[in-house]
Each structure stands twice: as C-alpha cells, then as structure tokens.
A and B are shown apart, each in its own frame.
Chain A
C-alpha cells in the first residue's frame, strides 16, 4: 500500500503537465490571405514577400494537408478550412549599411497581428508577432524572419 502511494505521488507532476498541455486545433487546410497594411506605410515588396514566404514556410512545415493562396477557387469546396489574416501594426525600415557599420542601429522591424479564423468567421487564434533584421542581411530579410515566427505559432497550435 505504501509503495502504491509513493508511485502515485511520483507520477503527480507528470499528470499535472499532461493536463496543462493545451489542446491542439485541427484543420485540414489553410488559406493564406495577403498582408493587410491598414494605415501603415510599408513598401509593397515587403507585404508580398511576407505573403510568399509564409506560404513557403507553412507548406514546408506540413501541418496542413493543403495550403491555399488567397482567391483560390478550390477553397470553396473544403469544409475544414481555416483562413490566416495578417495585419501590420508597425513597420520600421532600417538600413543594411547602417546595421553593418554600427552593429546596434539600423534594424528593420515589422509587427503584425496574425489571426486564424474558421471559414464561417469564428476566431481560433490571435497573436501579436514581431519580425526583425538586427545585424546582417537585406531589409527584406525581415519577411523571412516574420514568416518563420508565424509558421512556428501555427505549428504550436495545430
């Protein structure tokens, strides 16, 4: 009896962890919408590069059976489709030259709110995410960093 009690106590932390683990969302397909800028001034190449890199990343991660682009007609026939909307909340364009000369200034940063909704509108996920280029590389490298972070959030939740 004493042994059983000890075993039970030893397993308690593991049981607690298992209960704390958030339940994953499920969806067979995701449709990625172009990046919305709202009132934020951001060059078009940044918006479209984020869109393209997101599609690349989410496809590569393989969390969804289908990754669809905005406007794709085939999306209409998919019942368990979720839609990813990305809205820019802040953008600061730095300078590659300044970054390389000073190391600490000239960073490029883009803040977004990524929202995943069901096709009929229910919000499943809403996250604020930041992409940065701090040291080396072109300013457009920020799009790669941001796409990587958004894809990571999707991977953690689906």
Chain B
C-alpha cells in the first residue's frame, strides 16, 4: 500500500509534462515582434511584481501589457541603458511553487527531483531610464531565453542609449 506522500509525489511527477507545456516559454516572438510571457520583476510604477505580460517596442517606446490596468510605456528617448543578463529560475509559476512545496512531504526527499525538472533559464532585461524630472528609474524583466537581445536592438534602433554590453563573469 502506498503512503499518501508517495502517491502525491507520483501525481506531482505525472503532472510535470502539463506544467512544462504550460509554463516553459516558446523561444519565438510573435509575428509583430512582441514577446509574450514576460515577467515584470520590479520598476514599472504601479505594476505588480511577478506580473506576466507582453513586452513590445512600438512607436518609439517600450511597452509592457500585463492586462487590466497593468500597462506601462517607457519612451525610448528617455532610456539611458539597456543591460542583458541571465538567470536560472523555477518554471511553472505559482502552480510549480505549490507543487514543489507540497512535494517536500515526499519520503527520502524524493520531492527534490522536481527542483531539477521544474527549472528554466531566462534572460534578464534591465532598462534604465529617466523621468521628466531627470530622476533615475530602472525596470527589470524576466524574458524567455534568447529574446532579450532582440528587444535591446529594437530599443537602440528606436533611439535608446545603451552602453556596450559587457560579458559579466559568472561565478
């Protein structure tokens, strides 16, 4: 007879393909150049941290659309720098976090296998800009892997300033 924790682990592992399919982002932008499934980390005024939305460069501005009253625009001319980085994070969003937390109850720490399976690499896009009073702001986004460089190029073409990208040493 299986223990409840074991049953849970089996169920959690069985749901992995569904979670992965749902949350691991595709590596292509939309035909109009916008990027879906971008996570806003911090810096866009009233937009909540961890809000997912679509990032695009249109009409000389960077736009983030996170749905109901969660939109923001940064004019490219006000951008001082655009920096790219990368990070390995947990895939699966809130559902993934819940599954991983619940799987801690699994015997012999077998739930930790989810940590290895539920992870993905993202690009981190940092946009440094100034408001009308010349005050410095920065907006940070987690962008599906491989797509942030395209946003940077589009922003520079639209008039944003950007320092040469320096490859930072990884520890």
Contact = CB atoms under 8 A, between A and B. Distances in A.
Contacts of A72: 133-135
Nearest to A56: B42
Chain B interface category by residue count: 20 to 34
A42 B138 CA distance: 16
Given A43-B168, A97-B88, 6 more contacts: A45-B126, A49-B41, A49-B140, A70-B136, A73-B133, A140-B41
Interface of B: 41-43, 81, 83, 85, 87-90, 100, 112, 115-116, 119, 124, 126, 128, 130-131, 133-138, 140, 168-171
Nearest to A74: B133
B136 A140 contact: no
A48 B116 CA distance: 29
Contacts of B116: 97, 101
7 contacts: A34-B136, A43-B168, A45-B41, A45-B140, A49-B41, A49-B140, A52-B140
A71 B42 contact: no
A68 B87 CA distance: 30
Contacts of A41: 168-169, 171
Contacts of B135: 68-73
Chain A interface category by residue count: 20 to 34
B148 to A, nearest CB: 11
Main secondary structure of the interface of B (DSSP, over half): strand
Contact of B138 (A51, A95, A138, A140): A51
B43 A48 contact: yes
Interface in A27-61: 34, 41-45, 48-49, 51-53, 56
Given A43-B124, A53-B42, A92 B171 contact: yes
B89 to A, nearest CB: 5
B85 A52 contact: no
A95 B126 CA distance: 20
A43 B140 contact: no
The 9 A-B residue pairs whose C-beta atoms are closest, nearest first, are A48-B138, A69-B135, A72-B135, A44-B83, A100-B115, A45-B124, A70-B136, A43-B85, A52-B42
Contacts of A71: 130, 133-136
Contact of B42 (A34, A49, A73): A49
B42 A69 contact: no
A86 interface: no
Contacts of A92: 171
Given A71-B130, A71-B136, A96 B88 contact: yes
A138 B140 contact: no
A107 B133 CA distance: 38
Nearest to B122: A138
A93 interface: yes
Nearest to B81: A44
Contact of A96 (B89, B112, B169): B89
Interface in A116-158: 138-140
